[in-house]
Amino acid sequence: MSLESPKNYGENDFRHIVTIWIVLSVVLDVLYWFLVGPHVPPGRMTSTAKDNQLDFNVLFVIALPVLIGVWEWLAFAGLRWNSKRKDAPESVGGPSAAGKRSAEWSWIVITSVVVLFLAGFGTVELYAGNGSGGGEGPNPIQQPAGAVRAETAAIQGTGSWSPNSNEVLPVQVIAQQWKFTYRYPTFGGFESPFLILPNDTQIAFNVTSLDVIHSFWAYQLEVKADANPLENNVAFTKTEQLGSFEVRCSELCGIWHGAMFNSGKVVSQSAFMNWATSTETKNAQNTKDLPPFAWTYVPDANGAAGGYYPDGNVTPYSTVEIYGSKQPS
Amino acid sequence: MTTSAAAPSDVEKATSGAEDAPRTTGHGWLSQHVGTAIVGGFLGYILGHWLGNYIGSAYPYIANSGQNSLAVLLALLFMVAGWLLGIGALNYPLLKIVGREAKPEVEHVGWSKYFRYNLDHKVVGIQYVVGVLMFFFTGGLLAMAIRTELLSPTVHVFSADTYIKIVSEHGTIMMMMASSIVVGPLGNYFVPLMIGARRMAYPRIEAFSLWTFVAGYFVIFSALFFGGFPTGWTGYAPLQTQAGPGMISYLFGFAVISVGMIAAGFNLAATIINYRAPGMTWSRVPIFVWSIIATAALLTLASPVLLAAGLFGLLDKTAQTAFYVTEHGGSSYLWENLFWFFGHPEVYIMALPGFGIVGEILPVFTRKPLFAFRIAAAGMIGVALLSFFVWQHHLFQSGINPDMRPLFMLTTELISIPTGFIFLVGMGTMYKAKIRYEVPMLFCMAVYFNFLIGGISGVFLSDVPVNVTVHGGFFVLSHFHYTIMGGLIFAFFAGLYFWLPKMTGRTMNKKLGLWHFWTMFVFFNLTFFPMFIIGLLGQPRRVFTYARDLQTLNDFSSIAAFCLGASFLIFVANLMWSQFIAPQKSPANPWDSLGLEWQTATPIPPYNFERIPVIMTDPYHYSEVGAPALVDSGDGPPVHASSFVASSTDPDQ
Amino acid sequence: MTDMIKSSQKMSDTPEEREFELRAHIGAIWSGGRLFIGIYTFLLAALAFSYFYLRSSNNGLLWRPDHVTAPTAYGWTIYTLVLLAALMAIFGQARLRKGSVSEWQVAVWVGVAASLLALFLQVWEFTAVPFYPGSSGYASTFIGYSVINILTIFIVLYWLETTVARSLRMNKEIGGVAPQLSMHPSAQSFRANVASMTYFLGFVALASTLLFAMFYLL
């Protein structure tokens, strides 16, 4: 570049920009894909973690050339198109500088194509990934085979799960200020402060809250679903690796929001079966005292969990009795 | 129409007929000014509080609860009313009831006009500068407190309770500030000058917007005295329903601010539509004005929804309705939908004026026409329209109808097309130019640098599968700081360095400006870039403690944040030094801009233009041989672009 | 806002400038009126959205239990009064265009009286709703509707009253506001204001009808 005479200074700028851009983009994209991509958080513990890592990497590989392109342009502006350089040519105004139809149209077409591709890709991945581990509300549409059957059986109290049965395992996540607990409807609906999951199993998380909005974020599992009071927010994932994971609340839920976390484990199917059956027996008395298993739990007439009946009357206005769709015995 | 408008005798008769009308403002300490407004606000507060307790005593559930939200609400409501009454905002509306007209404004001279209900858009612009900086520095100090707490996951400076109040106040104050930081000061000051208008369409509504904005500051700040609020700036119910009386300050504060935003947008839109000088066709309207009218459309149409949402929240807290109480037939999703239906256009209320400033400043320092002007304007309108159709991307994981997710993913990603136009425009304008790197230009370059990161991380967030990882964590926190602070705040400072010489006639010190820019730019990136990684590593937002292995990154971010905070001290020092302590008189047109605002006299006369100018072309004909004349200002020959070409080559001019 | 137009007229040196200022002023009244309708539409749309959202969610089957009935007698009266005020304004404007200022004034005074009464009744109703505000989704939105309707009627009342008060003053000042009486800038500004007000009242009539149907009839 230094060989250029001041006269044709900047003539080849565009060509240089494009060449550098292509080289840098290709090199950095390849480096990213192979060196960084496989390690992008949160890892590959579940099907959704794996899928979403792929999504993240695809987005990044597309984003990187955009970043490089604009930054390179800014660098050229700073280093070469700078009035401090005495050899820099004068700015040229006039209609030719005020717009260039080919440049404008190619920009519009290229950005539109990229954006539409991304939207299409995201949609395909969302469906293929059974909702990608995000909360889908009470009536999920992106779901694994057998989910409806398992969920229906769970709420009817007829669900069962055993190792190698290939059944979807429904787990209920109950959030409240400021902790998470978990109920296993296929094992008599016992409640546990730990989230233990079998490996190589489709899990259906049924997330609900007893008070304010929380968000169940099982970080390594790549599951995130808001916990809303009186709403069952369902999210799916399939465990693929043994190990422990963290659960955090990712929706501001009051003073101790920052302290609302615990951890869980993915164990082998037989180990899970042992733990679940023994806990079911051990907790049988406690389970009896719990409200019967339901997708959501409304506050009782005493105004627990944020409800209030300010006329001092303990009779709720609702003609619907407590505990949602299931009446307490 | 022409016949009578042309007859001066009629006009003189009209003005003389109004002479016995009362004056809305006057001279002297006994007239209305900030002091009387404070007294009015104070008395209003006491009156409202008493009234609320009086009413509340009739309702056993209030009397027995030990907490009277109604008293707090009425106290704040009357405080704002007293404030507006004290400053004189209500004089004219009250006079109208008895059919009387205000006298033509007395022209205040000297300092005192800045402390009054002034109808001159230039005074309002300066008042807004002070107002937004007050918001900005308060919010900034709270940000320093947040980063102090996050220095360690185990050693705590604040209690969890105090911390969450600080976070909530920081977010809310900054959001309120950011929605007005450009529209208020620079929009009000420069839109009339740029379109060749002598006045605003509704000067009283403009001044009203300023004084409600300032009142909003006191209201949101009052939350701290009521025990704060724990919900963050998003105020989600049922946490909102559960919270104490500080929540009233939040809900009412947003309502007050939204009224101010509606007023500001209303006036600016009416002005731009009707007061453009002859010849100022839509294709000649400067890009900054385009951005302001797109913003004004969002301000007027999105803010009423916030007003309604706030009203419903206040009714929940005081009249015991159940809008957001799911167990009683309401829905917590209702708040989320109403809030974000406002909240997403709000994001573009913050972004668009920043784009406008950048588009306005780039041609001046590149000495080239704005590249693809029409596309830039179309991009702003496109962003404004699309912004009403993306709000549910904030609710991807919330349990909304899953059918909605691909749809909102599509609309959200579509909005990056018109946003991308701004990059096309900027890159085209910079291409092979001889760029002068003055302080405003550096800030503009930084906007491109930062907003690129912010925008691209936004595409990650809009992708539902990736959103599962990044939603509600530090990634999204970093994303919106990159767009709002990296985009809007940098653009605001670009605008301030660029236009202060016109506003005050005094130039900012370049050396201090450069120091301010480089420290702010470097430390901004050092503060917020690590947060992307912190977020990807699993740290949720608004937490006072975090995983131990994230301490290094958090400490790095915190220390950079303190330096970022310190960089604003350089700005304050520069402002004090070059505007007050050792003022340097600025040349009439220090940047050799072709903008119409620079063709006025300095100081700008009360009516801006001696004669209504006739606009002959758009203001971007830089470096053009044989460029058409810019404007016929009525006295002397038409101002010509070529008159700037000679001086433009000298970078130090 | 007439002092504004007066002062900008006063400092204009040429007839062209005065005409420009006047045209811009009248244009601002026109677009201001329309913008205000836009603002109000979004405010009411937020209410309507809440209504239909809660209605369709019907959380806990508590959208509207049987015992929650709207006070329809109040509702009909308020609605009729608001409609009357709007019709009076529309009728009055037609008369004003024909030149009968006094008929316009009488019509608007009737409108002022009607909206004052409507305001009083709406506030009264608000303090005496026959159900607990938090008893259902419907009850909540009804309370919200009452507050917004108080605001609406207040705006209607204020606009009608200040306009007719202004016309009285202007009778003294420039001898009338009817088209054939005055082409004075103030009179033109006044008529533009009347036009915007009438247009807004037409919008209020339409919106009130929809909201009345939603809250009292459905």
Say yes or no for a CB contact (<8 Å) between C132 and A317. yes
Which of A63, A107, A312 minimises the CB distance to B459? A63
Say yes or no for a CB contact (<8 Å) between C65 and A311. no
State residue A293's pLDDT score. 87
For residue A225, what is the nearest residue in chain B, using CA coordinates?
Answer: B397
Chains that touch C (3 or more CB pairs under 8 A): A, B
Q: Tokens standing for C106?
A: 């009488």
Which of C59, C65, C132 minimises the CB distance to A319? C65
Q: What is the mean pLDDT of residues A257-280?
A: 94
State residue A302's pLDDT score. 44
Statement to judge: residues A114 and A173 lie in one domain: no
- Strand partners for A244: A265
The total number of structural domains that make up chain A: 2
> DSSP letter string over A11-48?
TTHHHHHHHHHHHHHHHHHHHIIIIIGGG-TT-SSBHH
Closest CA to B312 of B339, B343, B293, B286: B339
Cis before A178? omega within 30: yes
Residues in chain A: 329
The per-residue pLDDT for range B150-206, each reduced to its tens digit, is 999 999 999 999 999 999 999 999 999 999 999 999 999 999 999 999 999 999 999
Residue A156 maps to a domain: yes
Distance from CA of A100 to the nearest CA of C (A): 36
* Burial (CB count within 10 angstroms: exposed 0-12, middle 13-18, buried 19+), residue B637: exposed
CATH of domain B118-581: 1.20.210.10
> Is B625 an interface residue toward A (CB < 8 Å)?
yes
State residue B7's pLDDT score. 39
For helices B34-56 and B203-222, angle between their N-to-C axes, nearest 10 degrees? 60
Residue A314 maps to a domain: no
Q: Which residues of B touch A42 (CB under 8 A)?
A: 469, 536, 538
Residue A109: domain span: 6-82+101-128
Per-residue pLDDT band for B359 (boundaries 50, 70, 90) equals: very high
For helices C137-174 and B8-17, angle between their N-to-C axes, nearest 10 degrees? 110
Per-residue pLDDT band for B651 (boundaries 50, 70, 90) equals: very low
State residue B206's pLDDT score. 95
What CATH number is given to the structural domain containing C40? 1.20.120.80
For residue A231, what is the nearest residue in chain C, using CA coordinates?
Answer: C59
> Is B562 an interface residue toward C (CB < 8 Å)?
no
Q: Which residues of B touch A248 (CB under 8 A)?
A: 538, 540
Distance from CA of A296 to the nearest CA of C (A): 11
Residue C51: domain span: 2-217
Give the C-alpha separation, A175 to A51, whole Å.
Answer: 27
> Is B227 an interface residue toward C (CB < 8 Å)?
no
pLDDT in 10s for each residue of chain C, 218 residues: 467 777 777 777 788 888 899 999 999 999 999 999 999 999 999 999 999 999 998 887 888 888 788 899 999 999 999 999 999 999 999 998 888 888 999 999 999 999 999 999 999 999 888 888 888 899 999 999 999 999 999 999 999 999 999 888 887 777 766 776 678 888 888 899 999 999 999 999 999 999 999 999 98
Say yes or no for a CB contact (<8 Å) between C60 and A311. no
Look-up of token digits 């659960």? A247
Distance from CA of C32 to the nearest CA of B (A): 6
Q: What is the mean pLDDT of residues B222-247?
A: 92
Statement to judge: residues A192 and A242 lie in one domain: yes
Distance from CA of A141 to the nearest CA of C (A): 19
What CATH number is given to the structural domain containing A296? 2.60.40.420
Per-residue pLDDT band for B462 (boundaries 50, 70, 90) equals: very high
The per-residue pLDDT for range B290-312, each reduced to its tens digit, is 999 999 999 999 999 999 999 99
State residue B320's pLDDT score. 87
Give the C-alpha separation, C119 to C153, whole Å.
Answer: 6
How is residue A306 annotated by DSSP? G
Statement to judge: residues A189 and A261 lie in one domain: yes
Chain centroid to CA B545: how far? 32
Tell me which H or E stretch contains B541.
none
Q: Which residues contact A208 (CB under 8 A, 6 or more apart)?
A: A172, A173, A174, A175, A227, A228, A229, A230, A231, A232, A233, A295, A296, A297
State residue B409's pLDDT score. 94
- Percent of chain B exceeding pLDDT 90 equals 74
Residue A321 maps to a domain: no
Statement to judge: residues A232 and A163 lie in one domain: yes
Say yes or no for a CB contact (<8 Å) between A88 and B372. no
The per-residue pLDDT for range B262-290, each reduced to its tens digit, is 999 999 999 999 999 999 999 999 999 99
State residue A7's pLDDT score. 54
Say yes or no for a CB contact (<8 Å) between A132 and B464. yes
| Amino acid letter for position C100 | S
State residue B29's pLDDT score. 67
Distance from CA of A152 to the nearest CA of C (A): 21
Give the C-alpha separation, C53 to C7, whole Å.
Answer: 50
Per-residue pLDDT band for A113 (boundaries 50, 70, 90) equals: very high
Alpha-carbon distances, residue B611 vs A39, B192, B198, C22 (angstroms): 67, 14, 9, 15
In degrees rounded to 5, what are phi and psi of residue A216? -85, 110
State residue A291's pLDDT score. 82
Give the C-alpha separation, B355 to B358, whole Å.
Answer: 5
> Is B459 an interface residue toward A (CB < 8 Å)?
yes
State residue B640's pLDDT score. 66
| Amino acid letter for position C159 | W
A43-52, A57-66, A84-93: least confidently modelled range: A84-93
The per-residue pLDDT for range B504-538, each reduced to its tens digit, is 999 999 999 999 999 999 999 999 999 999 999 99
Which of C59, C132, C135 minimises the CB distance to A230? C59
Q: In the predicted model, what is the mean pLDDT of chain C?
A: 90
Residue A95 maps to a domain: no
Say yes or no for a CB contact (<8 Å) between C43 and B309. no
In degrees rounded to 5, what are phi and psi of residue A286? -60, -45
For residue B59, what is the nearest residue in chain A, using CA coordinates?
Answer: A311
Chain centroid to CA A153: how far? 27
Residue A114 maps to a domain: yes
Which of B202, B320, B329 minimises the CB distance to C59? B329
Alpha-carbon distances, residue C5 vs A153, B1, B279, B334 (angstroms): 75, 15, 22, 44
CB A150 within 8 A of CB A159: yes
Closest CA to B292 of B263, B268, B276, B275: B268
Q: What is the mean pLDDT of residues B69-93?
A: 94
Give the C-alpha separation, B416 to A159, whole Å.
Answer: 46
Q: Which residues contact A227 (CB under 8 A, 6 or more apart)?
A: A173, A174, A175, A207, A208, A209, A213, A214, A215, A216, A233, A251
For residue C64, what is the nearest residue in chain B, using CA coordinates?
Answer: B329
Residue B10 has pLDDT above 50, yes or no: no
Statement to judge: residues A173 and A289 lie in one domain: yes
Signed CA dihedral, A209, A213, A218, A221: sign only: positive
Statement to judge: residues A156 and A297 lie in one domain: yes
Per-residue pLDDT band for B24 (boundaries 50, 70, 90) equals: very low
Statement to judge: residues A38 and A152 lie in one domain: no
Q: Which residues contact B578 (CB under 8 A, 6 or more apart)?
A: B506, B507, B508, B509, B512, B584
State residue C180's pLDDT score. 67
- Percent of chain A exceeding pLDDT 70 equals 87
Statement to judge: residues A116 and A225 lie in one domain: no
Q: Which residues contact B123 (CB under 8 A, 6 or more apart)?
A: B113, B114
> Is B192 an interface residue toward C (CB < 8 Å)?
no
Give the C-alpha separation, B120 to B109, whole Å.
Answer: 12
Which of C38, C147, C174 minimises the CB distance to B315? C147
Q: Which residues of A touch C59 (CB under 8 A)?
A: 230
Residue A90 maps to a domain: no
B94-98, B145-149, C8-12, range with greatest mean pLDDT: B145-149
Residue A325 maps to a domain: no
Domain ranges for chain B, please list them. Answer: 30-105+112-117, 118-581, 596-648
Residue A256 maps to a domain: yes
State residue B632's pLDDT score. 82
3-state helix, strand, coil in chain C (%, to 5): 85, 0, 15
The per-residue pLDDT for range C159-217, each reduced to its tens digit, is 999 999 988 888 777 776 677 667 888 888 889 999 999 999 999 999 999 999 999 99
State residue B272's pLDDT score. 96
Put simply, the chain B residues between 411 and 430 with a CB less than 8 A from any chain A CB are 413-414, 416-417, 420-421, 423-424, 427-428, 430
ipTM of the complex: 0.94
CB C203 within 8 A of CB C36: no
Which of B3, B96, B202 minimises the CB distance to C32? B202
A264-273, B335-344, B600-609: least confidently modelled range: B600-609
The per-residue pLDDT for range A156-210, each reduced to its tens digit, is 888 889 998 889 999 999 999 899 999 999 999 999 999 999 999 999 999 999 8
Q: Which residues of A touch B529 (CB under 8 A)?
A: none
Which of A311, A319, A320 minimises the CB distance to C132? A311
Statement to judge: residues A290 and A151 lie in one domain: yes
Closest CA to B320 of B52, B54, B61: B61
Distance from CA of C84 to the nearest CA of B (A): 21
Q: What is the mean pLDDT of residues A51-56?
A: 94
Statement to judge: residues A58 and A157 lie in one domain: no
The total number of structural domains that make up chain C: 1
State residue B18's pLDDT score. 40
Most B CBs within 10 Å, among C39, C189, C197, to test the B interface: C39
CB B470 within 8 A of CB B159: no
Which of A298, A310, A311 minimises the CB distance to C60? A298
Q: In what order do the strands lie in the sheet with B639-640?
A: B614-615, B629-632, B639-640
Tell which wins on pLDDT, B373 or B16: B373
Residue A248's SS3 state is strand
**Maximum C-alpha span of chain C:** 70
Q: Tokens standing for B127?
A: 């008042």
Q: Which residues of B touch A299 (CB under 8 A)?
A: 327
Q: Which residues of A touch C61 (CB under 8 A)?
A: 318-320
Cis before A42? omega within 30: yes
Statement to judge: residues A157 and A225 lie in one domain: yes
> Is B410 an interface residue toward A (CB < 8 Å)?
yes
Q: Tokens standing for B576?
A: 């004090």
